[in-house]
Structure 1
Amino acid sequence: MTSTRPYRMSARAAAAAVTRERIAAAAEHAFSTEWYDDVTIRGIAHVAEVSEQTVLNHFSSKDELCAVAFERWTGAIDSRRAEARSAGVGPAVSLLVEDYELTGDTTLRMLAVEHRVDSIRPWLAQGRREHERWVASAFAGALEGLSSDERARRLAQLVVVTDVYAWKLLRRDRGLEPDEVAAIITDLVRGLHR
């Protein structure tokens, strides 16, 4: 009997981990495709095929579920963008546009409610910091040899031309194809390499 108990406990732990992963994946999908206000614990439970109580046993609130979704997005974004750090301007911008094709609409929905949903503000602030770090790394050549004031101004310019809103204006508002968006943003970034 002693030898079967640890097995049962590890089997339970493994099952709990699988359940938690299903819930996290359902939350990521929900927050990726719906407005924050439309996401419910009931809906996440339904997609994860568990009860609402099971969701709450793993994650204490909708805000915690949203935090898990943000953690998952952040990891995926970092992985995709890491490839661009030494790729050159054109390939870096192409990777950025590919990333926005996957995450842009979700990001825009989150930005639209940032002013009234306190729990997402820290995640969006982190995303802004990470984007600026990525820009500074991916387009380091545009920042070389500048004074600190010039560097700060140039970095701000690069952040603006590579921001998700630039993608939105070109892709969603003007209806351009991803390769056209990448070409325009590449031209803008190259224009800042002087």
Structure 2
Amino acid sequence: MTKRAEATAATARKIAESALALFIERPLSQLTLAAVAECAGVTVQTVLRHFGDWDGVLAGAGTLASSSVNTLRDAAPVGDLAGAVANLAEHYERDATLSLRVLAEEPNSELIAEAARRGRDYHRAWCERVFAPYLKGLGGAERERRLAQFVAVCDVYVYKLLRHDARLGREAYTRSVIELLEPLTRRP
């Protein structure tokens, strides 16, 4: 029974991974259960047996992606500016395309809109945790403004602007973000 359960879990994971890979490559409007099944090497019926419907497939892919992101981002050191930015750069190097696709598809699916909201909430909580020493002692509107600044500088769109649009290398991106964040770490 254990081997059967492991095989079932492996098939579900392969389907979710396939859906995620296709979602990164194509707009949501071009994704089908048949494409996911073909990519995973299973039948559409197998996809449906594991996930129920298209929303179930999207939810499974989202769960897989957020678990992977959280595992990586949760390892960021608290109060270590260079370490936090290195963690962020590692995440964006691996997952920025997916993050940007989620944001682009947000208006097209309530499920994806909810995933985007959870991602924004996670990112804010991550900034609050990682930059906690620099927020300590600040209160009210001042603290909220400073936290919003950390959130903005660490956003995936800043990564896109610096890494892709400005064509900075990873090291230059990392240095640029540290330079943007350093003034926020100083006390007036």
| Cα 1:161/1:10, change in 2 over 3 Å | closer
Partner of 2:121: 129
Partner of 1:108: 100
TM-score by length of 2: 0.91
TM-score by length of 1: 0.89
Q: In 2, are the aligned partners of 1:32 and 1:106 still within 8 Å (CA)?
A: yes
Q: 1:152 aligns with which of 144, 148, 166?
A: 144
Partner of 2:63: 71
Q: What is the CA deviation profile of residues 13-59 of structure 1, one whole-angstrom value per residue up to 9, with x for unaligned ones?
A: 44433322221221222223332222221111112111111111111
Identical aligned residues as a percent = 36
CA drift at 1:150: 0.6
Q: What is the CA deviation profile of residues 46-98 of structure 1, one whole-angstrom value per residue up to 9, with x for unaligned ones?
A: 12111111111111222221111111111111111122133600111011011
Structure 2 unmatched runs, 5+: none
Flag the structure with larger Rg.
1
Q: Distance in 2 between the 1:147 and 1:25 partners?
A: 43
Aligned residues: 186
Partner of 2:135: 143
- Counting only pairs closer than 5 Å after superposition, residues 28-47 of structure 1 correspond to structure 2 as 28-47=20-39
Q: Distance in 2 between the 1:92 and 1:18 partners?
A: 33
Q: In 1, are the aligned partners of 2:79 and 2:131 still within 8 Å (CA)?
A: no
**Secondary structure at the counterpart of residue 108 of structure 2:** coil
Q: Give the RMSD, CA atoms, in angstroms.
A: 1.6
Q: In 1, are the aligned partners of 2:159 and 2:173 still within 8 Å (CA)?
A: yes
Partner letter of residue 85 of structure 1? Answer: P
Q: In 1, are the aligned partners of 2:153 and 2:177 still within 8 Å (CA)?
A: yes
Q: Distance in 2 between the 1:150 and 1:87 partners?
A: 19
Alignment partner of 1:49 is 2:41: yes
Alignment partner of 1:61 is 2:63: no
Q: Distance in 1 between the 2:12 and 2:64 partners?
A: 13
Q: 1:90 aligns with which of 82, 88, 102?
A: 82
Q: Distance in 1 between the 2:35 and 2:93 partners?
A: 25
Structure 1 unmatched runs, 5+: 1-8
Partner of 1:180: 172
Q: Distance in 1 between the 2:3 and 2:130 partners?
A: 45
| Cα 1:87/1:156, change in 2 over 3 Å | closer
Partner letter of residue 143 of structure 1? Answer: L
